[in-house]
Amino acid sequence: MDPVAFTLFGLEVKWYGILISSGIVIGALLAFREAKRVGFKEDDLIDVLLYAIPFSVLGARLYYVAFTWDYYGKNLKQILNFRGGGMAIHGALIAAVVTAIIFCKKRKVNFWQLVDICAPSIVLGQAIGRWGNYINQEAYGTPTDLPWGIVIDGVKVHPTFLYESIWDFLVFIFLMWYRKNKSKVRGETFLLYLVLYSLGRFFIEGLRTDSLMLGPIRIAQLVSLVTAIAAMIIVFYRKKKASIS
């Protein structure tokens, strides 16, 4: 497919941007529905999204730039060239969580309730956005003979974007079910999102050929592992604390 969906006033509008934007909009609509169900103020949700979304985009970019500094250190003008490509979901998540923490402290809003509302929306948006990688022919894996492999530059490779998209959809379905039927402690849904997404990303990242690296270490695998462990510890602590109280 042509990465460019259409041209508007001389500006190329790419499928990647359309898919990312669609994921954000659909996720936001889902979060608003949940906020209404649990009695969370919609104005607070609107306001936090107005901050979190742009900061997430900036965080995704700066995270990518930080781990490819060999190039950007010599091309400083390209750092904020978002259309040139180069984003990282972990950077977006870090920026979003920091923004939410600051927002909740200032507004006196319960942070754990807010992130529980948003968790399924986040992973659904990721599942949708990953298809932008397919159109751009990026984020693919090592060569394979499996029947569902895709051909990139004449080589049949693992469609790692597809693996992650399917995993994210499964995590989304599970979180929606769990939040409605099993969740007893605020923050549990969000922490389970961190655990499940991180575990899937850890294994899928091992197949990719374009990983951000820190020496011999794949950054995404390291961050995923640390995140999964930390989230499991926090969820067990919060459940234990709730049972005691």
Dist. CA 182–CA 189, nearest whole Å: 9
Give the pLDDT score at 151: 95
Give the pLDDT score at 53: 96
| pLDDT tens-place string over residues 1-57 | 788 999 988 888 999 999 999 999 999 999 999 999 999 999 999 999 999 999 999
Token digits of residue 159: 């469609």
Full-model pTM: 0.94
Extended beta strands in the chain, E state: 4-8, 11-14, 150-152, 155-157, 213-214, 217-218
* Partners of residue 151 on adjacent β-strands: 156
| pLDDT tens-place string over residues 46-102 | 999 999 999 999 999 999 999 999 999 999 999 998 877 789 999 999 999 999 999
| pLDDT tens-place string over residues 189-215 | 999 999 999 999 999 999 999 999 999
Q: Say if CB 68 and CB 116 are below 8 A apart.
A: no
Residue 134 phi, psi dihedral angles, 5° rounding: -65, -45
Is residue 127 predicted with pLDDT exceeding 80? yes
Give the pLDDT score at 184: 86
Q: Say if CB 113 and CB 37 are below 8 A apart.
A: no
Give the pLDDT score at 245: 60
Helix axes 15-38, 111-129, angle to 10 degrees: 150
96's CB contacts (< 8 A; 6+ apart) are: 52, 55, 56, 59, 122
**CA 180, 183, 185 angle in degrees (round to 5)?**
140
